Amino acid sequence: MQKFLSFFPSIEFYLKVAIVCTIFQQIFAYFWADIQITLISQIILYWAMGSLSFYGIGFLIENGIKTNPIIAKKLKARVVKVKEQPFPKFTFKGVVLGEIKSLVAASIILCLAPEVHRENSLILNLGWFLMRIFCADFCFYISHRLLHRKSLLKIHLKHHEFRDSSSFVAGHKSLLEYVITTLTDILPIFIFGYD
């Protein structure tokens, strides 16, 4: 029974993310309902939203959640120390290379994934986001678990190098792991399409 009850916080998390995504979808639909945008514009928009959310959520976690002990404890922020060196500072080269990889990934995704038009239905969009988030999390779990197998662990160890459990550690990975996780991330987009 305890295992069953421990599943509820995950469901709550999925619901919260799906609700936020649905709200953003409704805002975009309201302002851009009749606008047709080119594939290049879609790629740039997709890439920009991904980058803004990566850095925005990362800095929110680092400067908001982790600095407040009450919230950090409530949200069970990871505090396990792995090694003795702190996470490296952002460098211009690192940010540029990361953004180039993100732009390439966005281009591949939007060129190959099916485009779906779901209309502006609140319930339909909420269900679509909920399924997509659940599927994305499941795909991530499977790939992360596989990367922790002895035969693949060398590929994955790069982001386990630091004692600082920064939210940006997830982006600190080898090129091969980046390709593997990107393929895992886009699988739900190929299953459910993008709008």
pLDDT digits (tens, 9 = 90+) for 30-62: 887 777 888 888 888 888 888 888 888 888 877
Predicted confidence at residue 36, as pLDDT, reads: 80
| DSSP string covering 71-140 | HHHHTT------SSSPPPPP-HHHHHHHHHHHHHHHHHHHHHSPB---TT-HHHHHHHHHHHHHHHHHHH
**Which residue, among 154, 28, 40, has the nearest Cα to 107 in the 3D structure?**
40
pLDDT tier for residue 84 given thresholds of 50, 70 and 90: low
Q: Full-prediction pTM beyond 0.75?
A: no
Predicted confidence at residue 72, as pLDDT, reads: 67
Q: Other C-beta atoms within 10 Å of 105: how many?
A: 20
CB 97 within 8 A of CB 172: no
Report how far residue 2's alpha carbon sits from residue 160's, in angstroms, rounded to the nearest whole number.
Answer: 30
Report how far residue 101's alpha carbon sits from residue 119's, in angstroms, rounded to the nearest whole number.
Answer: 31
The radius of gyration of the chain's CA atoms, rounded to the nearest angstrom, is 18
Report how far residue 64's alpha carbon sits from residue 72's, in angstroms, rounded to the nearest whole number.
Answer: 9
- Residue-averaged pLDDT of the chain: 77
CB 128 within 8 A of CB 25: no
Predicted confidence at residue 77, as pLDDT, reads: 45
